Structure 1
Amino acid sequence: MESRRDRTIGFLCLGVTAVGWALNWPLMKLLLQQWPPLFARGLAGVCAASILATLALSRKESLAVPREAIPRLLFATLTNVFAWMGLGTVAMKYVTVGEGALLAYTMPIWAMLFAWPVLHTRPTVRDILGLMLGIAGVALLLGGNGFSFGAGKLLGIVLALFCAILFALGNVLNRKPLPMPPLVVVVWQVGLGCAAMLVLGVLFEHPSYTAITPLGFGCFVYMTLIPMGLCYVTWFETLRRLPPTSASTGMLIVPVIGVVSAAIILGEPLGLRELGAMALTLGGVTLALQRA
């Protein structure tokens, strides 16, 4: 009975996490019309880290970082936050939500490839099939105009791919958990990574602080409280109550909801090409996740 209750709560937390992270894609795109990417994401992340730190302290969790864990924490911050959030957000200036989300969520395929030289895990036939499906999906998505891209679009594609590749590399190299509570790890990674983005944004993007409208401010508040606040809490509850493969595979609904919500909110295209690309890419990712 307790196991069934745990699974039910786990799936509810998974649903909250997936919807919260998915809706962040189109709302972030709206916010980027008013504030530059590194500044917007960095400020939201610093605010979110402050809220999560308060929550951790209220749970009597220490924010101290063991000295031997500092190098691994900094590397994880680089791959999990600065690369994933920073490069991914900058990419959104140049690509659609559908393109950005599907390219970013190819990360399990890259992780499978990195596991070969790093962990000596040879790809199986299923792994190769997953890779081929993923490549076919991305090619279908990006090939609408015969792969003819302007400089901005090409930059966005490269940034989104680097975001996925670096995140995947971090997942392979950061397999040993850090000796801190999960919420404290998030506090430090989001805080440090987003503080670096904020500094770079202020120095090089020269944001107009008063340019934000009520709609933009609403998007900023959502980004701070939901995907970088509530969703991390529900994600840890998901991992505590569900098998890792079920949790990871369930997260494939994130790009699906993101693409559909972008079509509704932003009017982005959602036709047979986009649906076919989504099916191929997420099919390949599913195979890679089941191997993991």
Structure 2
Amino acid sequence: MEDKWRVVAVTAVAPIAWGATYVVTRHLLPSDAPLWGAALRALPAGLLLWALARRRPRGAWWGKAPLLGMLNFGAFFVLVYVAAQLLPSSIAASIMAMAPLALAGLAWPLLAQRPTVRWAIGAAVGLAGVVLVVGLGAGSLSPAGVAASVIALLSSSLGAILTTRWRDETPLLATTSWQLTAGGVALVVIAGVVEGPPPRVDAAGVAAYAGVAVIATALAFVCWFTGLRHLSAGTVGLIGLLNPVTGVLLGVAVGGESLALPQLLGILLVIAAIAVANTARGRGRTQPPPGRPRLITTAASPSPSSR
């Protein structure tokens, strides 16, 4: 159980970092260059991880990496960037909190991971918490922003499930770096054609881009994929509910957004949901899909204590 909670803690780094990106993007990055915003997030992160992994794709990964790169990073980052500019931080983050349903729904047919009763209870409690978190003072919402968030959710969920289904003995650091690099290269080309030269930003903007690339991308996605390798997809999705909690708290602290008592209750329900889902006996590790080999941890993967 202790090892499981270590994996949960590592996985939680991802949604917390992602929740913070909504505020950073909204207040520190240019709103008129979403393609460059996504490219400058993905490519530096991919190159950083590739330098650490020191391994090139082999065999089928030459085809899998670009596809996963577009699902997990290319299309996803553009849509999230657009949503962050069109929606309040709490709303944009909370739409992505539907990840437990999307991940569990896709994991059932693709990974043979059937949702448990305990997971369903946790999902119900967590989603109720999300409703409380964002159910007050939302005001009018941009339909384009909502659509961008929903499509981003579906794209990233499918990418996460396929990343888990196609896993092998290849180190996690390497597969993550290939996906980020492939998605980033595609984004740079598209951004150059559609938006022209990269946007000019001040020192705060440069620091914001660097933080998003290193912390909210390179580190966060390694933590996220670590969770997907060792926990069920539905459980990882529930941990993702920390995304809107972070978005709301930072929106209050930095963006001047309001926080009411029901929202505080909602945050407590989200935390309770994660606890409920992760106290099930014998559910600490995800079994590989039928016909798939078990992961063999290598020196290039995150440390055993984080697995």
Unmatched segments (≥5 aa) in structure 2: 287-307
* 1:161 aligned to which of 132, 150, 153: 150
What is the match of residue 27 of structure 2? 30
- 1:68 paired to 2:60: yes
For the structure 1 residues 78 and 16, does the alpha-carbon distance in structure 2 shift closer, same or farther, using more than 3 Å as the test?
A: closer
For the structure 1 residues 167 and 216, does the alpha-carbon distance in structure 2 shift closer, same or farther, using more than 3 Å as the test?
A: same
> Which stretch of structure 1 is more off in the superposition, 120-129 or 89-98?
120-129
Whole-Å Cα distance in 1 between the matches of residues 246 and 17 of structure 2? 10
**CA apart distance, 1:149:** 3.9
- 1:244 paired to 2:231: yes
Render the CA deviation track for 1:199-223: whole Å, top value 9, x for unaligned.
323322346633x122222211211
| Contact 1:116–1:123, Cα closer than 8 Å, also in 2 | yes
Whole-Å Cα distance in 1 between the matches of residues 49 and 181 of structure 2? 10
Whole-Å Cα distance in 1 between the matches of residues 90 and 39 of structure 2? 23
Whole-Å Cα distance in 2 between the matches of residues 85 and 267 of structure 1? 25
When the two structures are superposed, what TM-score results if normalisation uses the length of structure 1? 0.74
**Matched residue type, 2:195:** E
When the two structures are superposed, what TM-score results if normalisation uses the length of structure 2? 0.71
* 1:194 aligned to which of 184, 189, 206: 184
- 1:92 paired to 2:81: no
Matches within 5 A, 1:114-193: 114-118=106-110, 144=136, 149=140, 153-174=142-163, 175-178=165-168, 180-193=170-183
For the structure 1 residues 130 and 149, does the alpha-carbon distance in structure 2 shift closer, same or farther, using more than 3 Å as the test?
A: farther
**CA apart distance, 1:156:** 0.9
| Contact 1:134–1:280, Cα closer than 8 Å, also in 2 | yes
Aligned residues: 278
**Matched residue type, 1:44:** R
SS in 2 for 1:209: coil
**Matched residue type, 2:215:** I
Whole-Å Cα distance in 2 between the matches of residues 8 and 119 of structure 1? 23
Render the CA deviation track for 1:33-61: whole Å, top value 9, x for unaligned.
4662221121232122222221122xxxx
Whole-Å Cα distance in 2 between the matches of residues 167 and 49 of structure 1? 17
* Identical residues among aligned pairs (%): 25
SS in 1 for 2:253: helix
SS in 2 for 1:92: helix
What's the Cα RMSD here? Answer: 4.0
